Amino acid sequence: MSHTSTVGAALEFGRRALGPISGTPSLDTQLLLSEALGHTRAWVLAYPEAKLNEAQTQAFINMVARCQDGEALPHVLGWWEFYGRRFRLTPEVLIPRPETELLIEGALQFLIQHPKRRMAADVGTGCGGVAVTLAAEVPDLWVTATDLSFSALQVAQSNAREHRVASRVRLLQADLLTSVAGSFDLICANLPYIPTKVLHGLAVAPREPRMALDGGADGMVIIRRLLACIPDLLEANGRALFEIGAGQSDTALAATQEVLPTSNVEVRKDLAGQDRLLVIDRMG
């Protein structure tokens, strides 16, 4: 790419460079170029003949090279979208996934049906995607969000500020909800659920924090620990939501039956038809 390149030429350069490593090279290139130019994707598509200056060209080429070196696109961009909002990211947090929007829908369904139940928890908050989204969608909601990782909590705090919900999102460094006082109407948890052995073979393993992915021998070790505390933490008629891995529903249902035998429990599928969300409605 020459230093007096145009938007159109840059798009072509990026598409060719990312073709061998991405399933969506055109989209990825448009996002990277918008970031380098400080314009929207729509602008990039509308002005193919616009010229890039030297700094913009260099910024774009550097970002394409980072993707070619194996960095995840959201980490190169420094942000990713979740439930229609932009979240700042660093390599210390999990990239929020579209599957987790199912958890948001299960939470909003409960909050709409129960307008007085307004104390929520988000366990393993990462970049704050769940906590911040719920607080932004439900303006009288209070959320306690925990994570073991202090770096993740710093990212979550900047996202809570960016989306103007910092006064209603309490961020705590904690192991699950241990040492957190009180009980909750709604508990949301997208905790690590990939079995350790499976994780070793996955492309995400070197790209995202192990603490965000590794769910122990059967993937359910951390989820089971939180499930065991649910009777002490969840208010009567409250709801707990756990994102789970495909194939974990039998184990998750059995573990729930053990700790809350009288609750209503179901597993919801994601858009790909995979079991993804454990929904526990605690009876009176």
Question: Residue 32 or 189: which CB sits closer to ligand SAM?
Answer: 189
| 3-state DSSP percent of the chain in helix, strand and coil, to 5 | 45, 20, 35
Quick one: which of 14, 74, 106, 192 contacts ligand SAM (CB under 6 A)? Answer: 192
- Contact status: 134 vs ligand SAM (CB under 6 A): no
- Contact status: 175 vs ligand SAM (CB under 6 A): yes
- Contact status: 222 vs ligand SAM (CB under 6 A): yes
- Count CB-CB contacts under 10 A for residue 151: 13
**Minimum CB–partner distance for residue 183 and ligand SAM (Å):** 18
Stretch that binds ligand SAM, among 45-53, 107-115, 123-131, 230-238 (CB under 6 A): 123-131
239 φ, ψ (degrees, to nearest 5): -125, 140
Write the single-letter amino acid at 15. Answer: R
Burial class (CB in 10 A: 0-12, 13-18, 19+), 119: middle
Q: What is the dihedral of CA 257, 263, 269, 270, to 10 degrees?
A: -110
What the block records as the tokens of 70 is: 């194996």
Roughly how many angstroms between the first and final C-alpha of the chain, as a whole number? Answer: 66
Write down how long the chain is: 284
**Minimum CB–partner distance for residue 253 and ligand SAM (Å):** 21
- Contact status: 198 vs ligand SAM (CB under 6 A): no
- Contact status: 125 vs ligand SAM (CB under 6 A): yes
Quick one: which of 148, 221, 265, 267 contacts ligand SAM (CB under 6 A)? Answer: 148
- Contact status: 205 vs ligand SAM (CB under 6 A): no
Quick one: which of 35, 101, 147, 185 contacts ligand SAM (CB under 6 A)? Answer: 147
DSSP output for 181-220? -S-EEEEEE----B-HHHHHTSTTTTTS-HHHHB--TTS-
- Contact status: 133 vs ligand SAM (CB under 6 A): no
Binding-site size, ligand SAM (CB under 6 A): 22
- Contact status: 219 vs ligand SAM (CB under 6 A): no
- Give the binding site for ligand SAM (CB under 6 A): 94, 96, 100, 123-126, 129-130, 146-149, 152, 175-176, 190-192, 211-212, 222
